[in-house]
Amino acid sequence: MTDIDDLLKLDATAQAQLVRDGQVRPIELVDAAIGQIERLNPQLNAVITPMYDQAREAAAGDIPDGPFAGVPFLLKDLLAYWKGVRHTSGCASLKDFVPDHDSELVVRYRQSGLIVVGRTNTPELGCNVTTEPRLHGATRNPWITGRTTGGSSGGSSAAVAAGLVPMAHANDAGGSIRIPASCCGLFGLKPTRARNPLGPGIGDWASGLASEHAVTRSVRDSATLLDATSGPDDGDPYHCPRPERPFAQEVGADPGQLRIAFSTRTLSGVEAHADCIRAVEEAAALCSHLGHHVVEGSPEIDGDLFFDTFVTQFSCGVAAVVDSIVQETQASGVNLTCDDFEPLTWRVREIGSAQSASTYLRAVTTAQNIARDMAQFHTESDLWLTPTLSRPPVPLGYFECSTETAPSALERVWDFIPFTPLCNATGQPGMSVPLHWNEEGLPIGTHFTARFGGEATLFRLAAQLEEARPWAARRPPVSI
């Protein structure tokens, strides 16, 4: 196979199989991806740091014999360090930062045979639910370019949705894999806490809120990639349960009759947008048609208490990162102030800085208690189905703010993502599945939460849903 258009339509698993069969060379895949980036990125602003020379050198060299040998890939510009390549985290104060080591996750990506062709756009320090950093500018949604891609993995999601690469790195501390997966019509799974390593730079972030993985077009790519990267690293602060068998073997396996509870209301009782309600109702009906036991229901969790708990954890985490940047630059003779950060980031930092150590530790304890409540909920329901987001992708600029309007912008942020942060606080895996598009042609994700360590259940159901209502062949206007 040499037709470039045909190559670009394949998922990573299929591309890797062509390499193994000798039907295509890695350099052909890399050049196809680079060509697609050069053609479409001016419309999307998804890739902000090209790595073409490194990619072509890797494609011409000895590629590890991993499951994705020769497949082009993109790294989000947050957390996953690549030695010697600029790493900005979407922050002007870090625009010249170049790490001196690789993250363990990057090492595992290389061992899997992936060839990284660039880094993708992200909001400043990942501290927003839209990808519109002042440093690099807005990433545009390939379905309707005036709409958000979501965040913070918006650059990766736009790139995969538009067919620049078949999958891309993403991470998630409040929904940052699942939010943009919903906005861009992709499969996005946040793994169980500690499934993938964050080191060596950090052990965890904000007491376990952050997880690493990817956004993909196919379920099997997500499962196979997780097999390639998961497992503890030396010195990790904690481990998660080992899977009974490789996740790739769960794709296509019989999920049995699952007990699925669904709700279209937030934990605080607020109803989602009509498009999101319709997406959940259709997903619930599809699950019922597939033989699962589907009932309306929700865990008994105080929504306001959870909101306060999550805000405390997340904001303290942001405060620690910002203060670390300020202190490190002071050592080199540069004094950063609030004007060197975006107003929303600084507002979150102020909230975190106002918390006492006692308040933070009480929030961690509350989150752990909520995790126990969710564990009890999952003794009666295998999965919980909700909207991924409270509304369809909003227009670019919806979250724009000044110092004076940052509090109201932050309210809009939380209103947009009432469903995804729970999994970050409890450590459970969750996935956004692209089963519905609204009348505007925008994708609307549906969200499934499983018990701690329950990725196998999610992969089994996701593969069943993918077969029943395929989505990978749908292409946004930008990619056509």
Which residues are annotated as catalytic? 76, 152, 176
Q: Left if phi > 0, otherwise alpha if psi is -120 to 50, otherwise beta: which for 137?
A: left
Look up tokens 């360590």; give the residue: 453
Q: Is 308 helix (H, G, I), strand (E, B) or coil?
A: helix
What Å distances lie between residue 443 and 260, 436, 467, CA to CA? Answer: 23, 6, 18
Helix H or strand E segment including 157: helix 154-161
Task: Please name the residues in contact with 49: beta carbons below 8 A apart, sequence gap of 6 or more.
Answer: 77, 85, 86, 88, 118, 119
Three-state secondary structure string covering 204-272: CCCCCCCEEEEEECCHHHHHHHHHHHCCCCCCCCCCCCCCCCCHHHHCCCCCCCCEEEECCECCCCCEC
What is the bridge-based pairing of β-strands 211-216 and 187-190? antiparallel
Instruction: Give the type of residue at 52.
Output: Y
Q: Is 407 helix (H, G, I), strand (E, B) or coil?
A: helix
Distance CA 463, CA 11 (A): 14
Distance CA 86, CA 192 (A): 29
Strand blocks (E) in 270-373: 293-296
Answer positive or negative: Cα dihedral of 480, 214, 190, 41.
Answer: negative
Answer positive or negative: Cα dihedral of 155, 158, 160, 164.
Answer: negative
Determine whether 480 is exposed, middle or buried from the number of CB atoms within 10 Å of its CB (0-12, 13-18, 19+): exposed
Joined together, the tokens standing for residue 214 give 């990817």
Task: Please name the residues in contact with 406: beta carbons below 8 A apart, sequence gap of 6 or more.
Answer: 343, 344, 346, 347
Joined together, the tokens standing for residue 76 give 């989000």
Distance CA 282, CA 277 (A): 9
Are residues 164 and 186 in contact, defined by beta-carbon separation less than 8 angstroms? no
Joined together, the tokens standing for residue 473 give 């062949």
Cα Rg, the chain, nearest whole Å? 21
